[in-house]
Amino acid sequence: MRSKLYIAMPVLLLMALLTYPVLQIFYEAEENPYSVEIVETSTNSDKSICRWGLCRGKNGSIPEAAQDDTEILLSGGGLYLGDVNENKMYLTFDEGYENGYTEAILDTLKQENVKAIFFITGDYFEKNDAIIRRMLEEGHEVGNHTMRHYSLPELNYEKCENEILELDRLFYNKFGRHMRFLRPPKGEYNSQVLEIANSLNYKCIMWSFAYKDWLTDEQKGADYAFQSVTENFHNGAVLLLHAVSKDNADALASIIQEARKQGYEFGDPEDLA
């Protein structure tokens, strides 16, 4: 009995040591969903789900994503970075619904002469005709964030295609042009989603920086937004900001101005097409 106990104790200790790093990574992921890459299932089949996420770089270094997910994204024609050899960054905004700040964001972009991509949902399209028209008139791109914001990899081919096409057709009928950039809801995609995007002449745009800015009842102030964004500048950055955030709207001008002080410029979305 005593010999069995002596054998069991080292085994239990080894198991605890091996398990600790896994638990540590898990809790880090829960605390900051953009701090580590999370893949829910294997990425080797069309039915699997890749969930985009990054390990942030430091001091201007390029963030890293999981190799398998990056390969699937890039080989499928998508991107998450511009040219990393240029001191150029790109502003993108996700628009699930209007919270009263998009007009202020557009004012700042016009004042600073910066063009951006606004990814809209079907609900946003139906309720914000004047704002979308202003986006287009002022030279911004309006991207497709799908009709109903479903997780695209969870849909079959036909339903996934329809989530993109339905919004595209409505947009074309009203504004006389097709969308050309897609951002999959929740950052979830797989090879089938990318195949469909390519067949519809869409470029799938992920991001190289995002932060927890979408909780409207947990805003932390413009200084927090400024610090969160500016400490993660890097060449070719595709910055994802949520337009529902008051912090982002209030900090945007200072973010753009700080980028220019550091030698960066904001590229035209045309560069990413």
Residues 6+ apart with CB under 8 A from 18: none
Question: How many CA within 13 A on the CB side of residue 213?
Answer: 29
> Which amino acid belongs to residue 33?
P
Provide φ and ψ at 215, rounded to 5°: -85, 105
Give the mean pLDDT of 29-53: 49
Give the mean pLDDT of 54-66: 90
CA 92 to chain centre: 8
Asked if 212 contacts 34 with a C-beta cutoff of 8 angstroms, the reply is yes
Query: Could you tell me the two tokens for 124?
Result: 């946003």
Domain spans of the chain, in order of start? 1-31, 41-272
Provide φ and ψ at 144, rounded to 5°: -95, 115
pLDDT of 131 > 60? The answer is yes
Give the mean pLDDT of 93-111: 99
pLDDT at 31: 35
pLDDT over 70 percentage in the chain? 83
Asked if 116 contacts 93 with a C-beta cutoff of 8 angstroms, the reply is yes
Note if 69 is an active site residue: no
Catalytic residue among 94, 213, 247, 250: 94
What is the maximum alpha-carbon separation in the chain?
A: 81
Catalytic residue among 140, 168, 242, 250: 242
pLDDT at 220: 98
Q: Tell me the pLDDT tens digit for each residue of 151-189.
A: 999 999 999 999 999 999 999 999 999 999 999 999 999
Q: What burial class does residue 100 get, using C-beta atoms within 10 Å of its C-beta: 0-12 exposed, 13-18 middle, 19+ buried?
A: exposed
pTM for this prediction = 0.83
* Burial track 83-98 (b if 16+ CB lie within 10 A, e otherwise): eeeebbbbbbbbbbeb
What is the CB neighbour count within 10 angstroms for residue 79?
16
The confidence band for 190, taking pLDDT boundaries of 50, 70 and 90, is very high
Is the pLDDT higher at 127 or at 31?
127
Asked if 98 contacts 121 with a C-beta cutoff of 8 angstroms, the reply is no
The confidence band for 59, taking pLDDT boundaries of 50, 70 and 90, is confident
The confidence band for 36, taking pLDDT boundaries of 50, 70 and 90, is very low
Note if 242 is an active site residue: yes
pLDDT at 57: 86
Q: Tell me the pLDDT tens digit for each residue of 213-264.
A: 999 999 999 999 999 999 999 999 999 999 999 999 999 999 999 999 999 9
- Give the torsion sign (CA, 167, 168, 172, 175): positive
Question: Going by CATH, does the domain composed of 41-272 fall within 1.10.10.10?
Answer: no
Q: Are strands 181-182 and 203-204 parallel, antiparallel or unpaired?
A: parallel
Of the listed ranges 37-46, 62-71, 181-190, 220-229, the one predicted with least confidence: 37-46
Task: 129-133: list long-range contacts, CB under 8 Å, 24+ apart.
Answer: 129/174, 131/98, 131/102, 131/103, 131/106, 132/175, 133/175
| Residue pointed to by tokens 């991509």 | 117
- Give the torsion sign (CA, 43, 78, 161, 240): positive
